Structure 1
Amino acid sequence: MHTRSETNWLDVSRSRDGTFVIRDYGRLGQIASELVRPGHQHPTLSVFLGKKTKDIALQSIFPQNNIRRTKPRASIGLRYDMITVDSDNPILFADGDLSTDRDHHDPMPGVHDYSVTWDHSIDALKLIYACLLFLFSDCVCIFADDYPNLLTVAEFLVVCTRFRPASGLPEAIRPRVLVVLQNDPGNAMIDKFHEKLREVDSASFSGSFYSVNLFYLGQAYSESTRYDSLRTWIKIQTNNIQAARREKWVWWNILHLKALFLSAIRQFTSDDPPQFDIVKASREANPVTTGLSSHISHFLELGVQEGCLLEILLSAIASALLMDHYTPEMILLDPKAVFQTLYRSSIVQAFRNYRGPAFSRPLAIIVYDLERDFVRQFHSLVDRGLASVDHRREQLLSMNYELGRLQSDRICLYCLVRTAQHALPCCHNICDVCPQLFGTPVSSAEYQFTLSSCLLCNSQAKFVVDVLPPTMNPTILAIDGGGVRGGIPLEYMIMVQESLGPGCQLRDLIDLAIGSSSGTGGLLVLGLIGMEWDVSLCSEKFDFLARRIFRERRQPVVSRLLHAILGQDSLLGNIPKWLSWFLHDSCYDPRLFDTTLQDAFSRYKRIFDPACGTSHPTLQSKPKFGVVAASIAKDTRSFIFGNFNAVDWFSKGYDYELFRAETRDTEPLMWEVARATAAAPFFFSTAHLRDIGSFQDGGLQDNFAAGIASRLYRRIWPSKNGIARLISLGTGDTGPSSERSPHFRHVFRDGFLRRGFDAFMANLGAASKWRLLVEQLNSAVRPDYIRMDVSLNDMACTIDNVEAMDDYRNLVILQPGSAKQAREAATALLVARFYFALDHHVEETFSETLTWCHGTIRCKGPAKPIVNALRQLHPETIEFTTDSESLVKFGGLGDICLTCGRYKKHVALLLRHPAEEKNIYLRIGRHQKWRISGFPASVQSLDTIQRLGDHPFGRPDHGRPSIGPCDSCDSQPSRFRGLRRKRTSSISAEDMGGKRVCIVG
């Protein structure tokens, strides 16, 4: 039997705490799912208000609908016309009353309640009509005979118009109101009706309605004839308003309508509802970049500096903004309204922040010219049927004779709205999204894109961009500083690499590496990621650098003579040496230091250069890396030099500064950055970076690399919900001191030099900071944070004693359990390269029945070496599991596609609800298990991150593929996947009645 609640749409009810709520039964979304081509069907919506007469009229106007059996129990119902449901313009009709005297019950599953603050339910119902339904309606038919008199209808219309205008939509597409009567009520009543309407000024009235007309059915005609004329009037008016929507660029499909209505109801029920703006509503899921004004002003400064014409710069900005807004699914809104609503304020602010030579034209004229160009380009791409991405490509290619001269290491010049993250061989840079828009996905790897040429300069060098998948969290390597004590983290790295085997390189498992202080962390990160050394070469280079740099402290000739005459322990012989150290600001020769670093890190390689040498046929982007240095200003701050940008690079509200030069030529050289991060006070003089400033050892501010890395990654990947792994490598723990503070200061032993030196050395220890970091974590994710360090026991804490380097290494080798810890760290890194991706959108379920969701476990990076390394480490049984069940066995190389070489494992998760938090692990044997990347997370959150659900206004990637096609992978069905039949108009809610179907895989 058919359930009448199927057509319920909106209601006003009381919640358990006595407050009023607007109850949405989700009917509009249900209809959207039942239409056969929802993305290409542009519905009309008519609202019918009344009681018995209204029901009789609906039966005649929509004869194919069973009006009586599908009558809603809610105050407002929603149905579609069975005749036009498959057409390009299906007719939707809502019907209800002006009063709510129905019984209300607790909400059923699938019903959403929105709290409101009004005192009376009738007023709330009128508000729903005025500010929600009429906002999206074409025609409003009010059957006056169902109410006491015509004045009641007029009072209702006056109430509607006295609310603020519902939107800034054009007047031509506001609803046409038709007041339906059986017979002419007489001139006196009609005059009172119009007199009541004139209480509202014309501006307020036109803000709500396009027109109000009286319509007489007439008793002399048959019922069918009377309602035929009403049907004809409604059809004419809906056709007119649909034509007006197309003309005014407000022509939405059913998916747009659903999303706009949900946005309107959320805004309507907020504490201080603003005027509803359809343009802003279309960008709720993909808001305009916060720092757009900073990006545009930077672009203008670069363009003017390189002598580009202002018209060229404005045209480039216009096409970039078009690509930002008009994704393929976006409703084609009026471009003038789009520009003024979304971009104008940022453009004005950009020109105000502009620091270059003054323009000859006033600001208002420049902004007007940009708006006009934006509108012109919009109409051009619409007339040609061109996608905005392809239009942007054409624009860049046509203007690269001028734009090719521009270089920026801060913003992506392809889109202008995102930050530069990858350095191209031609000295231009690109963000994480534009490779997907303008490149080709690599078939042999996940989320890699090939750019065959540069659109800005026509450079033909191929470049592969590696991007972190949406559902994968970053793996971070953080190395503390400690001078020659760097042998400790190096030995751990060697042991981890030995566990991985020769075929899987440690750097291929890292997404972000941060190093700090006194040479060790910074130099190792620069070598491992920046120079692409393997771990054994890092070890060799580090030993060579340390032994050469710390070979001998500075000793003037006078000091040598005095020591020769008076003996090596002579205080008088040390005085010239100490004076020399003081005057040179270091006890080691900085020229030798500079030369040694130049030999190791190249004299010409810059911090933001692409990976691989120029002889390599295909260059590839590197993992992100950064090293920490400290300014020598009075207000000492940490500076991070790296090959990435923060999303909010323009923000100043942080306790550190992420340095980024404006162009590639002004980026610091690799050896200069190494010099800056290793310039420990007393040991070395400060490092001067040309046009940047002078810097010293980063350990003075942030020697605990994991601490700054855990703060920094959120600025690089703000959408990530956490870290997959954080491997923190220490340089030795001195342990808590048992020495008590003395009661008095010894004149010589407790001088300020000794105290300052001891304080600096104590700052190298980070064990207490690690404990504090872990204590602040949720207990569920603590296993993902791994600290590898060793106790120094009674060894001296020094950073320049090269004779102790082997002893420091031996501490790691001889420490019980260090090999096991390295093996576990290697396993944790390997497992963190696996991530889960949903196959399809997961619909929210409201029954108590368990349901399945289907997806695939994938592998980021070189799949075969990773799988091989994992199998070599653990030849025993390995399987994917959740917290409560086994999913599927790990098949090793058998899970890798022979055609494309990618790893792909189908799994199915059993869910109580999509919001339920889940974990997926790789379990080895019976007890050991490691979480794969991206978890803990709910399937609902993964669905949102992947943007699989309804995104009627498009996605930032414009729906471009993220993975290359593979005939083998694409044709292989999941053995778990159940079939879910989509409803069509022929199998509708109104035909099926109250049956509930649950299909599981």
Structure 2
Amino acid sequence: MEAAQSLLRRVARSFYSSEQVVIVDLLTQRQILSLHELSLHLELPMRRIQAYCNELESARILELHQVNTVNTYCFVNYLAAIHAIRWRLSTIRDETETPKSTDPEHYCERCEIVWPVLDLVDQDSPDGLLCPKCRKLTALLPKEDVSTRLFADLGFYELRLREVDQTKLPGSSFWAAYKMLPESERTQQDTSGRLKALVNQLPHPETQTPSLVFTFSCRRGTRKRSAAAACSTVHLDLEPHSVASPNPVFLATSFLSRTNATRLPTHGSDRLTPPRRCCSIMSETSISLEPRLGPANAHLQILFPYIDVICFPCSSRQCLALLVEQFACWRRSALWTQDKSRLAPELLVILTSHKVKEEEVRRVLEGSSDSWMLRPSALTVTRSHAFGGRDKGGDEDREAVLKFTRKLLQRTRSRKSDLGLLFSAHHLMALVDASLQRDQPFPGYVELSRTARPVTPDLSQHLGNFIALLGQGQGQGFGEFATDAIAASLLLDHYAPGMHAFPPHRVFHDLHREACSEALRIGNNTPAQTKPETENSTGIVDSDTFLESIVARMDELHRSGEPAVELHAKSYHKHQDQWLSLRTRDTCLLCIQRVPQYELPCRHSICEHCVRVFGHASEEGPRFFTVYHCFLCGAYAGLHVRVRPPTAGVGVLCIDGGGVRGIIPTTILELLEEEIGLPIPVQEHFQVCAGVSAGALVLSTLFLNGWTAAKCSRAFEAFATTVFRRGQLTGLPGISQLWTVVNNALYDSLPLEVTLKAIFDATTSMTAPSYASTIGAKLALVVAPTWTPNPLLITNYNGVGETSERKGAWTGLPSQSYDVYRGEEGLAVWEVNRSCTAAPAYFAPMHINGVGLLQDAGVTQNNPINLALSELRSLYPAQSLPQYLISLGTGISMESASREHVPGKRTGFFKRHFLYRLFKAYMSLLSGKKTMDDFSRSTKTSPLFERCIRLDAVVPGPPAPLDDAGSVPRLKRSVHQDRLLQGAICALAKRIVASLFYFELDAIPSQRGMQFRGSGCIRCLCRAPDEALSALMQKLVQSSAVFRVNGSRVPGTLSGASFWTSCGNFRKKIKFTSGDATISITLQQGSPEYPISGSPFRLSELVEAQQLNANFGRSDHRERGRRD
């Protein structure tokens, strides 16, 4: 077997492309793979995979088998492949051994072509005969020599063939290998857009509540119907007379066959081709079925929870036996787990022949089905000889079914209405689509409706934090207060606009009961195995009573019919006095479901989600929110928050540490802002920022204070002069080193602390409202704790994000863990910056209450690029890549350190001392270039590589000491004189200008075969009447800038009417067609072109980001499809 696999791999590498080599390698490991799996492995569109496989199939290396309408599998038939290789080698040898001419021949080594001498007569030159193809000199070479080299290459294949002949190859049946696949990979559901097309035919799909009638047939018909039965096709229609009715009827028809349910076609049988359906294939979904269920039951397993009536025409005892077998499949598959007896569909058996008696049918079915499946009134047996006659067509059969099912439909609709499970056509379509996307049995309607908006995974922890907070001296009145707050929070979580009106008790049971029970144990510090007493020290009643009170309160609030947001606001306003004394930074008390991000002046903290739900949309744009007053206590808030468009990319900025060399990054940012040439502060182009030492100080002034880059440069120069001021004695050689050892620092920390308090208000917290929140920036300052080697990040977003992503760099570099501060006390900005600048030997470490002793993080990692990327992944899990990552260095010295070492010269005593060597090692860590070089090598083959830009200046002369304030002017001049840096800044400016545009879909794209079609709009982050918009357009018009979609130019000019809305905002509507579910949009300003923000886009990610698939409401309680 190994010999055959090795031979196939060698043949692929010798005769085929690299993509085909990968395909053959994968097939030698698995033997059978679908084209869809190969497309995922190679990250190539299906059409290219199909072309590669077609070429391999023509050479008999593999076989292609179409199992159903869209599922095509590649299969390695080793016997056929080995025979094909043997024949091909034999053909090559025969052609090579056959002499074609006795004339001498010439060989071109460049073209590897042998030319007869007669073909080269007119190609002579003074040096010899030239090759007619490449015009290079050929060499006289007998053809026998070429053949000898070729025979040597063929020797390997002949050796492998002899080894293969001595082994036993596996069977050559595709169907045998297909049957060995796991059930989840073997059973595929092909779904068309038929249901969506039928729903779109309804005049009011949001309010019409349809019913579903499922009709089985076990008769044998034409070959076309047999083919459909073999493929387990379900045909769906809409009863035409019910289109305008409040209760339209969908009719589903399928064929039931014991053969199709238990046996697959054997190898060699004719391939069945299903009939052409009215709609093309829209998706392909794997469904995990119960082991004994066959393909004929797959569609029923999906549609069963939505069926109102199952109609079964029975003409013989064989048909009745098939129905009994189907009942057994339903029992084994456990299709329904809640309210089985009340939600099971009605069963209508229509006897079409005298061969079967009604009493016999009732006796057999009632004896074989469970009590939940057939209630006394659930089975209806009737007789109709007109149904299914040979002279009848499909329309007559449909009319007969409707005649018998009208009363049954009224009964099922009444039951579902009482249970709150009568769905609109829009919701029914969404539930069926969600069922198709799951690889597990049906979970329940409520849970299925939350597929696109799942419950917060740490809900129990936040509810537990809230209960524990109330137990700290707040026992009086706890019951009503806690019940109202939790009930309002759970209603807010579920009942978004567009959600089906599920009964609150069902919502609580399916989604929240387990989390609330766990929260009660967390809040009471009660072990999970111990049930709380009726009354405990916190004044909380026992869990059952408490949970029942929450459900009762949810029911009471829900019956009012008001929106969940208004109910929540009224409930909180009712207990405003009790909210005054509650404070926590672990849980947002407004929603009790998330970690808070913004700390208000009243010291209440709220999350960004609550800002979007309860905040006021600003006039500046739909993504600017203002919180005027605290939602909990009513105090003044003054919080302004900008939220990034969900389809836009994220810019990342990293700044190294380096003492006075920090003037270099600020000067680079100045030049970058000038090169962009727009009235937009340079920091607004970055959404995630990380800084070390002086870099942290620069970021704090830019993003927290809102200073311009020019002001930051001026202040930094004055800052360096102030804090790096030595005394008269400490300035003497040797005395400074001794003073450092005795005093634990070379400089006094008092001037540094006084200066920092002057720059940053002494009472301002890192999470307080700031310029960073106004522009939507996330800031992380890196410090080094003295008790652990792991860096500590102190952020302006209270450490929110996916904790699982904070395991270090995700770029392939060695993993480095780090911690993110999230404590009960907010840290002052000046304290954090004091810790960031506490460089060992220069300043003493800083002790912060509740945190510990902190120092400059340059001793562990002076370039925070890996930390920034990890935070990007944690904050924006959907962003696979940053829009751009700018790493700013603090200077590269032109004078090599190796000049200090002269070979053969004895090193002095001082340089041999361990203190000097330790100091030199520490100084070498301050260069972020090594970290960047390691990062570049690890990402060289990744798309991340071209998005990471390192900007650093070459500084003439020796490196400037960290405390040499007099070198600041020289460092600034080096930035302006560096020509390579100027060119990099110019290119970056164009990239940033392109990122001011983003793209949004108008609706979910449609799919026809392998082609995706859709439309959307290119929009601009700058909005009217901001002067930046007019300046941007003037700049682009002057440079003749154009947009390109998948390489094709967007027609029109930027000043044209089609690019603007009536409100004066930029918007260009485009239509696109894509074959690989992606779309690339770039802005070309001369050459080269750069991607707009977020490009290239995956269509599925765009749909999810815009929540276009949120058929049951958006998390921000805004209307679905509304542009934010």
Q: Specify if TM > 0.5.
A: yes
CA deviation digits over 1:387-432, x for unaligned, max 9?
2122112222222221243334444333222333344454334333
Q: Secondary structure at the match of 1:337?
A: helix
CA deviation digits over 1:102-125, x for unaligned, max 9?
943499841544456889998331
Q: Distance in 2 between matches of 1:929 and 1:221?
A: 67
Written as runs of structure 1 = structure 2, the 5 A alignment for 1:409-448 is 409-448=585-624
Written as runs of structure 1 = structure 2, the 5 A alignment for 1:140-179 is 140-145=310-315, 148=318, 150-179=320-349
Which of 1 and 2 has greater Rg?
2
| 1:952 equivalent in structure 2 | 1111
Name the amino acid aligned to 2:349: V
Answer yes or no: is the 8 Å Cα contact 1:183–1:216 preserved in 2.
Answer: no
Q: Secondary structure at the match of 1:148?
A: helix
| 1:337 equivalent in structure 2 | 506
Task: Indicate yes or no: 2:480 matched with 1:326.
Answer: no
Written as runs of structure 1 = structure 2, the 5 A alignment for 1:200-215 is 202=370, 205-206=371-372, 212-215=378-381
Deviation at 1:682, TM superposition (A): 1.0
Answer yes or no: is the 8 Å Cα contact 2:315–2:351 preserved in 1.
Answer: yes
CA deviation digits over 1:790-847, x for unaligned, max 9?
2345413521111222222221122124344334433433332221222333222337
Q: Distance in 2 between matches of 1:44 and 1:78?
A: 12
Written as runs of structure 1 = structure 2, the 5 A alignment for 1:376-775 is 376-459=552-635, 463-500=639-676, 503-517=679-693, 520-552=694-726, 555=729, 574=735, 578=737, 580-611=739-770, 620=774, 623-648=777-802, 655-662=817-824, 666-734=825-893, 748-775=910-937
Q: Distance in 2 between matches of 1:425 and 1:637?
A: 29
| 1:971 equivalent in structure 2 | none
| 2:40 equivalent in structure 1 | none
Name the amino acid aligned to 2:308: D
1:209 and 1:724, CA in 2 relative to 1: closer, same or farther beyond 3 A?
farther
Answer yes or no: is the 8 Å Cα contact 1:607–1:668 preserved in 2.
Answer: yes
Answer yes or no: is the 8 Å Cα contact 2:211–2:248 preserved in 1.
Answer: yes
| 1:217 equivalent in structure 2 | 383
| 1:83 equivalent in structure 2 | 241
1:859 and 1:772, CA in 2 relative to 1: closer, same or farther beyond 3 A?
same
Name the amino acid aligned to 2:305: L
| 1:931 equivalent in structure 2 | 1091
Answer yes or no: is the 8 Å Cα contact 2:1004–2:1014 preserved in 1.
Answer: no
1:895 and 1:724, CA in 2 relative to 1: closer, same or farther beyond 3 A?
farther
CA deviation digits over 1:649-691, x for unaligned, max 9?
69985612221333xxx21111101101111111111111122
1:881 and 1:366, CA in 2 relative to 1: closer, same or farther beyond 3 A?
farther
Answer yes or no: is the 8 Å Cα contact 2:1037–2:1054 preserved in 1.
Answer: no
Which of 246, 253, 275 aligns to 2:424? It is 253
1:344 and 1:851, CA in 2 relative to 1: closer, same or farther beyond 3 A?
closer
Q: Secondary structure at the match of 1:198?
A: helix
Q: Distance in 2 between matches of 1:943 and 1:219?
A: 51
| 2:515 equivalent in structure 1 | 346
Answer yes or no: is the 8 Å Cα contact 1:441–1:961 preserved in 2.
Answer: no
CA deviation digits over 1:677-719, x for unaligned, max 9?
1111111111111222110102222321222111112222223
Structure-2-length-normalised TM-score = 0.73
Deviation at 1:918, TM superposition (A): 2.6
Task: Indicate yes or no: 2:194 matched with 1:194.
Answer: no
Q: Distance in 2 between matches of 1:918 and 1:908?
A: 12
Q: Distance in 2 between matches of 1:229 and 1:588?
A: 96
CA deviation digits over 1:11-42, x for unaligned, max 9?
89985464453333342232222222222221
Number of matched residues? 904
Name structure 1 gaps, 5 residues minimum.
Answer: 1-9, 56-66, 561-567, 614-618, 966-1001
Q: Distance in 2 between matches of 1:316 and 1:741?
A: 75
Task: Indicate yes or no: 2:967 matched with 1:804.
Answer: yes
1:119 and 1:597, CA in 2 relative to 1: closer, same or farther beyond 3 A?
closer
Name the amino acid aligned to 1:31: L
Q: Secondary structure at the match of 1:484?
A: helix
Task: Indicate yes or no: 2:1082 matched with 1:921.
Answer: yes
Answer yes or no: is the 8 Å Cα contact 1:13–1:121 preserved in 2.
Answer: no
Which of 1004, 1007, 1010 aligns to 1:841? It is 1004
Answer yes or no: is the 8 Å Cα contact 1:165–1:207 preserved in 2.
Answer: no
Task: Indicate yes or no: 2:482 matched with 1:310.
Answer: no
Q: Secondary structure at the match of 1:39?
A: coil
1:284 and 1:750, CA in 2 relative to 1: closer, same or farther beyond 3 A?
farther
Q: Distance in 2 between matches of 1:346 and 1:760?
A: 50
Q: Distance in 1 between matches of 2:1039 and 2:336?
A: 65
Q: Distance in 2 between matches of 1:289 and 1:627?
A: 28
| 1:290 equivalent in structure 2 | 457
1:371 and 1:233, CA in 2 relative to 1: closer, same or farther beyond 3 A?
farther
Q: Secondary structure at the match of 1:497?
A: helix
| 2:215 equivalent in structure 1 | 48
Q: Distance in 2 between matches of 1:144 and 1:895?
A: 62
CA deviation digits over 1:564-589, x for unaligned, max 9?
xxxx56x6xx3xx6454334321111
Q: Distance in 2 between matches of 1:468 and 1:23?
A: 37
Answer yes or no: is the 8 Å Cα contact 2:192–2:282 preserved in 1.
Answer: yes
Name the amino acid aligned to 2:672: V
Q: Distance in 2 between matches of 1:212 and 1:345?
A: 34
Answer yes or no: is the 8 Å Cα contact 2:846–2:854 preserved in 1.
Answer: yes
Name the amino acid aligned to 1:549: V
1:756 and 1:277, CA in 2 relative to 1: closer, same or farther beyond 3 A?
farther
CA deviation digits over 1:110-160, x for unaligned, max 9?
15444568899983314543x333322111121221553644433432343
Deviation at 1:911, TM superposition (A): 1.4
1:649 and 1:12, CA in 2 relative to 1: closer, same or farther beyond 3 A?
closer
Answer yes or no: is the 8 Å Cα contact 1:436–1:960 preserved in 2.
Answer: no
Q: Distance in 2 between matches of 1:337 and 1:777?
A: 53
Which of 306, 315, 322 aligns to 1:136? It is 306
Structure-1-length-normalised TM-score = 0.81
1:525 and 1:302, CA in 2 relative to 1: closer, same or farther beyond 3 A?
farther
- The share of aligned pairs that are identical, in percent, is 22
Deviation at 1:629, TM superposition (A): 0.5
Answer yes or no: is the 8 Å Cα contact 2:800–2:875 preserved in 1.
Answer: yes
Name the amino acid aligned to 2:413: Q
Task: Indicate yes or no: 2:355 matched with 1:181.
Answer: no
Name the amino acid aligned to 1:527: T
| 2:254 equivalent in structure 1 | 96
Which has the bigger relative contact order, CA under 8 A and spacing at least 6?
1
Written as runs of structure 1 = structure 2, the 5 A alignment for 1:356-371 is 361=535, 366-371=542-547
Name structure 2 gaps, 5 residues minimum.
Answer: 1-66, 75-174, 179-186, 261-270, 527-531, 809-816
Deviation at 1:787, TM superposition (A): 1.6
Name the amino acid aligned to 1:628: V
Deviation at 1:786, TM superposition (A): 2.2
| 1:236 equivalent in structure 2 | 407
